[in-house]
Amino acid sequence: MNLKDASLLKSRCLVNGEWIGNPEIVVENPSTNEAIGSVPRLGGADARLAIKHAQTAFPHWSRMTAKERGKIIRRWYELMIENKDDLALILTSEQGKPLAEAAGEIDYAANFLEFFAEEAKRVYGETIPSHKANARIVVTKQPVGVVAAITPWNFPAAMITRKVGAALAVGCTVVCKPATETPLTALALAELGQRAGIPAGVLNVITGKSFEIGEELTSNPAVRAVTFTGSTEVGKILMRQCASTIKKVALELGGNAPFIVFDDADLHAAVKGAVEAKFRNTGQTCVCANRILVQSGVYSVFIELLAKEVAKLKVGDGTGRGVVQGPLINAAAVRKVEEHIKDAVELGAEIVVGGERHELGGNFIQPTVLKNVTTSMLLTREETFGPLAPVCKFETEEEAVALANDTPSGLAAYLYSRDIGRCWRVAEALEVGMVGVNEGLLATELAPFGGVKESGLGREGSHYGIEEFVEAKYMLVGGL
């Protein structure tokens, strides 16, 4: 990897301001399956030690003024921007997304630090008119304490800063466990955090045995909040484990996003939105459109336009010129997409574009569009997490809403229509945490990101994101 600053490529973990552990787990480039680095295989005892240091660091960090903490977080933001090229290259090398998209993620990730550095100063409390003439009700917001953050591989930078930025801003200390597939971006961010002046023990990043580390982070009484982004399956395990010590939990889990196109939509905008919502990160985001629902009057023409755009998507190594679709994260991800295509075709779906492994081999698969898709098919019930766009037909608005809500997930939804009444009605009826109305991309540090139903608990980003890491304290001040 040709970095300007080779010291950003770490092979050890950060605990209490020191780099520890021996490089043991090999990190592979999903595009070539070549080894690009290795990181320690830490376990439960190491997690316990990291928690202890985070606990020790908490009193000092939480008592610093918000402005002082904000300055350090702001400096961290600036260092991310200064090192954007290197961070993007590390990210692409371990995750696969095209370099331009990786640079976009670094900007997005850094924006969370910028936002929370500012927001640190606005963790306001409240006074409430009292029930007693000689007493006053005051509510303050206090940091919960040690926070554990467990993050996934699809956004190796942004999922860290979205959690850690908010937690640090309010005065919490953190133990972070990045995904085993993408630890190098996390460790590079930790290095920049050190350079920004985050004190020892305030931010600890550990890699290794997910299950063991997860068990310690969710059961250790010193950890007061667990914030997790990943699969619904693992989210349920972590929530169950948190029950014994009643921790605050914030979970951002899987989705099954409907993308609804009505007869009266601007079709060109809808196709552009569908490509963005479906194929970003090669379909590997939790808000990716998983089911494209199109009203019968425009069904055929929408498919024709969509197919034309999808056929243009250039697949290849993320560092290649003009590439917009990288590899999937691993072989299992490719098999899942294949399985969804096979099941759908057996049940009557038709391939319009793609449908097979890409000639590049390895973890590459062709961007695919399927038509004549029905709800009996696996791909409408499960999150595909790949570049597969299944298009279903519906007749009425009621049917569209019923189809959209017919899932235990409730993260994002998208709808395209030029009828303002319909936009409001449908957006309000959708059982999700986020709706794109004539928009295919939702994520920004300024808005609350999160889901309902089995897609999770809590919100990240914006001032809502602060709430996961503070507790309200009510004081009744009497004797006046």
152 sits near ligand ADP (criterion: CB under 6 A): yes
Tell me how far, at minimum, the Cβ of 121 lies from ligand ADP, in Å.
31
Closest distance of CB 276 from ligand ADP, Å: 21
Binding part of the chain for ligand ADP, among 99-107, 117-125, 233-241, 432-440 by CB under 6 A, reads: 233-241
Q: Which residue has the tokens 């090999």?
A: 26
Binding-residue total with ligand ADP (CB under 6 A): 15
| Interacting span for ligand ADP (CB under 6 A) from 39-47, 206-214, 391-399, 454-462 | 206-214
Nearer to ligand ADP, 207 or 417 (CB): 207
> Measured between alpha carbons, how far is residue 355 from residues 198, 222, 327, 379 in Å?
48, 50, 15, 13
219 binds ligand ADP (CB under 6 A): no
Give the residue, chosen from 150, 169, 323, 413, that forms a contact with ligand ADP under the rule CB under 6 A.
Answer: 150
Rounded to the nearest whole angstrom, what is the least distance from the CB of residue 213 to ligand ADP in the complex? 7
Please count the other Cβ atoms lying within 10 Å of the Cβ belonging to residue 127: 10
Paired residues of 261 in beta bridges: 294, 416
Using the contact rule CB under 6 A, the part of the chain among 73-81, 119-127, 175-183, 313-321 near ligand ADP is: 175-183
Binding flag, residue 39, ligand ADP (CB under 6 A): no
Candidate residues 32, 62, 142, 210; the one interacting with ligand ADP per rule CB under 6 A: 210
CB of 175 to ligand ADP, least distance (A): 12
Taking CB under 6 A as the rule, does residue 190 contact ligand ADP? no
Q: Which of 252, 397, 460, 467 is catalytic?
A: 252
**156 contacts ligand ADP (rule: CB under 6 A):** no
User: Min. distance of Cβ 288 from ligand ADP in angstroms?
Assistant: 13
56 touches ligand ADP (CB under 6 A) = no
Selected binder of ligand ADP within 214, 316, 327, 390 (CB under 6 A): 214
**Interface residue with ligand ADP, options 37, 40, 70, 230 (CB under 6 A):** 230
Chosen residue from 180, 245, 319, 405 binding ligand ADP by CB under 6 A: 180
Nearer to ligand ADP, 29 or 232 (CB): 232
Distance, in Å, from the CA atom of 166 to the CA atom of 146, rounded to the nearest integer, reads 13
427: left (phi over 0), alpha (psi -120 to 50) or beta: alpha
Strands 248-252 and 223-229: parallel
Residue with tokens 């190098």: 184
**75/209 with CB nearer ligand ADP:** 209
- In whole angstroms, the minimum distance from the beta carbon of 211 to ligand ADP comes to 4
Catalytic annotation on 252?
yes
Residue nearest to ligand ADP (CB): 214
Range in contact with ligand ADP (rule: CB under 6 A) among 109-117, 194-202, 227-235, 428-436: 227-235
d(CA 110, CA 174): 18
Candidate residues 102, 117, 159, 234; the one interacting with ligand ADP per rule CB under 6 A: 234
Listed ranges 7-15, 176-184, 255-263, 437-445: which one lies at the site for ligand ADP (CB under 6 A) = 176-184
Closest separation in Å from C-beta 438 to ligand ADP? 29
Residue 211 near ligand ADP by CB under 6 A: yes
Which residues are near ligand ADP by CB under 6 A? 150-153, 177, 179-180, 210-211, 214, 230-231, 234, 237-238
Which positions are catalytic? 252
